[in-house]
Amino acid sequence: MTKWPVLARQAHAAAWLQAWEDLGRAPRTVDAYARGLAEYLELCEREGVDPLSAGRPHVAAFVRVLTTRPHRRGANVVSIESGAGLANATIQQRLVPVRLFYDFLMEEGLRESNPVGRGRYTPGRRGSGRPRGLVPRLSKLPWIPTEQQWLDFLEVARCEPIRNRVMLALAYDAALRREELCSLRTDDLDPAHRTVCVRAETTKNRLERVVPYSAPTGVLLAGYLAHRAAISRARGPLFLSESRRNHGQPLSLWTWSKVVRRLALAAGVERFSTHTTRHLCLTDLARMGWELHAIASFAGHRHTDTTLQYIHLSGRDPAEKLKNGMDHIHAWRIQMLAAGDPREDTAGGARP
């Protein structure tokens, strides 16, 4: 509540958020809920609107603010070309806590309807049977670097300290999310079998998995473990800070993000982020012909719908269909040429 004072000023909002904490939701999930609801409640305060009686126009005004306000990162913004507003997926995330908050108020008998709703108030196309949501949902494929961009990035990364290099190697090899990577512990590793255990509490959807890493990464990891012993011999967090201020402390998510951002700018690949290695790994697995469910298991996806985007991104299925189709067409065209002119057979010789 100290981070978002507006929540403390709204008793019902504070009670709603406390309920999610009591239910054991992940701290980052609770923080995301708090941020989204706090931004909405701050707008209500500026407009002099009681959130308990707010209607659809007030929620629409909130969406307008999210889509038009100057971006706080200014020229450093990566994912939004215009440099203004929030990405479509982020806007969807901001609306989730607002919708859940009004669900809570309805359950408590304080409201009769939810102004955010789930798409029921905006009818879809006639006969479609699927009403549209408050904000159109854009489904964009993840960005991955070209081969040249990847080589440029590696050229810069090869000069990095061994800790950063092994983190990049593991992030790609095991398709690790940022939090999964930074939360690894020494006892999560099994060097004998070259596997790493991604603990459930560090994952996005609370699914534990064991994934392999390559032999070159194993060599890097062995070198880093020897280097780490000079910093701390205690078992615990695998990746440690080497700065004077936090020497020997667990490496934070934000520090790792800054490392990757620095490398991306140096390589001239501004869109490269901590999640890019994961996207690239899963796309490469799709290109290699891995089955959908095998990729989903490797990635820790609860639903294969998420995994399908990497199949699409790899272009594997369309490429295979195009190849098969072209082979058929090619054979048909050659067959027509090889058959020659049927009049040659009937006339008993070549045409004059």
Q: Which domain holds residue 81?
A: 5-107
* Domain identity same for 217 and 275: yes
Same domain, yes or no: 83 and 177: no
Greater pLDDT, 139 or 232? 232
What is the residue-averaged pLDDT of the chain?
83
| Per-residue confidence (pLDDT) for residue 45, from 0 to 100 | 92
Same-domain check for residues 268 and 292: yes
Q: How far is CA 107 from CA 74, 103, 121, 234, in A?
A: 40, 6, 20, 49
Are residue 166 and residue 256 in the same domain, yes or no?
A: yes
CATH number of the CATH domain containing 292: 1.10.443.10
**Structural domain contains residue 75:** yes
H helices of the chain, in order, are: 5-9, 11-22, 27-47, 56-68, 88-107, 147-157, 162-173, 178-182, 215-231, 253-267, 276-287, 292-299, 304-314, 316-339, 342-347
pTM equals 0.69
Q: What is the pLDDT of residues 226-285, one digit of tens each?
A: 999 999 999 999 999 999 889 999 999 999 999 999 999 999 999 999 999 999 999 999
Shared domain check, 94 and 45: yes
Q: Write out the two tokens for 125.
A: 């196309």
Q: Are 307 and 337 within one domain?
A: no
pLDDT for 125: 47
Confidence of residue 78 (pLDDT cuts 50, 70, 90): very low
Same domain, 160 and 306: yes
CA–CA dist 99, 178 (Å, integer): 28
The domain total for the chain is: 3
The residue from 107, 138, 168 where one domain ends is 107
Do 269 and 151 belong together in one domain? Answer: yes
Measured between alpha carbons, how far is 265 from 313 in angstroms, rounded to an integer? 24
